[in-house]
Structure 1
Amino acid sequence: MDEVHEGVCETHIGGRSLASKILRAGYYWPTLQQDCMHKVQHCDYCQRHAPVIHNPVEQLHSSEGLKKKLEDSKGEWAELIPEVLWSYNTTEQSSTKEIPFRLMYGCDAMLPVEISLQSPRTASVNEDDNIENRRTELDLVKENQNKSTLQQLAAKRAIAWKYNKKLKPRTFLEGDLILRKIEDVQKPPGHGKLSTNWEGPFRICKVIGKGAYKIQTLDGTILPNNWNISSLKLYYS
């Protein structure tokens, strides 16, 4: 457990991912999950560099920990890229329920701990069976990639459904007074952080549909182009 968590690659992954990686390497004991959770909770490095994530399950699988590790390393981040990529490519991703290395090559990566401490697949290797099994794995690579794609699409739809469920539709009517967002390309030189990001008021002169509107100034001058509702908000005098 120590070797996988903080050994040669210093992955420092979450408890559930740690248990999953150890299990895939061929090791098991009854308190595996509990011990991995305890290991992460009492790891000084993990506690110092833990990302602020309110959902504990998300924290176990999230790549935010790897991102945080790179951010904290400042100018030395380039030296950490190999171990960060290794950790990412050998850890199950929550969006696909798959391991990037396995999706690419059709099999799990050989972890350093399997060489130093031995595992079932390194201790009992049969060359003939290994070649046959490898051919089967390569035949299934495309199928596993397709399944992973569908899993990712399902996860995205679930997130979108949850977001849209709480979303309140917003529309404007002709004659409504609104403010227009100042896009970055429209900001004049010297536009500071404390400057306003909205300008107006303007008036809705035509509802085009699907969130698009024609707007005009208060003196009746119609502005060119259509404006999306994401760039507009109600003006309260």
Structure 2
Amino acid sequence: MREIHEGSCSMHSGPQSVVAKAIRLGLGEGIKSRLGERNKNWVEKLPHVLWAHRTMIKSSHGDTPFSLTYGTKAVIPTEIEMPTYCTAAVDMVNNDKELSLNLDLLEERRERAAICEAKAKSKMMKYYNARVHGIAFKTDDFVYRSNDASHAVAGGKLGPKWEGPYE
């Protein structure tokens, strides 16, 4: 809420900064779909879009880190007394059996998640390596050296970016 206040209050940097930050996070489509045809009151819709962005699954294996760690979904505690489907649909008789079954299957879910992560990593590596071309230099080849590293030639903003050629 503080972030929204600082973004929309005239005493702070302005609503444009909150919009720019939301667009940078990739929330532009979520805000547009939440607003629909009317483009007003986007500040009221922003917390809902931020919550959805922060709680959605962003990995290739389809599980949340909480469920891989503890073996169950994250739910609101019953002490808060806020009724949800997960707390209302609990079968108290079979609850212990279900929890022990979840813990037995937890290792299998972790292994499946590790396999999916490795598959996604190899896919990204294949995509990256297809576009990267290695260069091997031989003796007597002419090369240029980046001026940013050595600062051999001063020139400021309009100065040369490379120095050389070196043999």
Shift of 1:168: 3.4
Aligned letter for 2:84? Answer: Q
User: Does the 8 Å contact 1:179/1:201 carry over to 2?
Assistant: yes
Which whole-Å deviations, capped at 9, do the CAs of 1:18-69 have from their partners, x for residues lacking one?
Answer: xxxxxxxxxxxxxxxxxxxx9764324xxx9xxxxxxxxxxxxxxxxxxxxx
**Partner of 1:156 in structure 2?**
121
**Partner of 2:140 in structure 1?**
175
Matches within 5 A, 1:12-51: 41-44=32-35
Shift of 1:85: 8.9
Task: Name the TM-score, length of structure 1 as normaliser.
Answer: 0.41
**Partner of 1:166 in structure 2?**
131
Cα separation, partners in 2 of 1:93 and 1:42, compared to 1, 3 Å:
closer
SS of corresponding position for 2:57: coil
Aligned letter for 2:113? Answer: S
State how far apart, in whole Å, the 2-side matches of 1:187 and 1:108 are: 55
**Partner of 1:202 in structure 2?**
166
Aligned letter for 1:141? Answer: L
Match of 2:84 among 118, 121, 125: 118
Which whole-Å deviations, capped at 9, do the CAs of 1:178-205 have from their partners, x for residues lacking one?
Answer: 0123565x558x99565545333211xx
Aligned letter for 1:143? Answer: E
SS of corresponding position for 2:94: helix
Matches within 5 A, 1:86-97: 88=54, 90-97=55-62
Identity among equivalent pairs (%): 26
SS of corresponding position for 2:144: strand
State how far apart, in whole Å, the 2-side matches of 1:135 and 1:86 are: 30
Which whole-Å deviations, capped at 9, do the CAs of 1:142-183 have from their partners, x for residues lacking one?
Answer: 332222122111111101112222333433332111012356
Aligned letter for 1:125? Answer: V
**Partner of 2:22 in structure 1?**
none
Cα separation, partners in 2 of 1:182 and 1:168, compared to 1, 3 Å:
same
Match of 1:144 among 80, 85, 109: 109
Cα separation, partners in 2 of 1:105 and 1:171, compared to 1, 3 Å:
same
Cα separation, partners in 2 of 1:133 and 1:193, compared to 1, 3 Å:
farther
The count of aligned residue pairs is 126
State how far apart, in whole Å, the 1-side matches of 2:64 and 2:107 are: 14
Cα separation, partners in 2 of 1:182 and 1:43, compared to 1, 3 Å:
same
Cα separation, partners in 2 of 1:86 and 1:143, compared to 1, 3 Å:
farther
Which whole-Å deviations, capped at 9, do the CAs of 1:106-129 have from their partners, x for residues lacking one?
Answer: 1111269xx75632x322322231
Aligned letter for 1:100? Answer: P
SS of corresponding position for 2:62: coil
CA RMSD after TM alignment: 4.0
Structure number having the greater strand percentage: 1
State how far apart, in whole Å, the 1-side matches of 2:105 and 2:158 are: 56
Q: Which runs of 5+ in 2 are unaligned?
A: 1-28, 40-46
User: Does the 8 Å contact 2:144/2:162 carry over to 1?
Assistant: yes
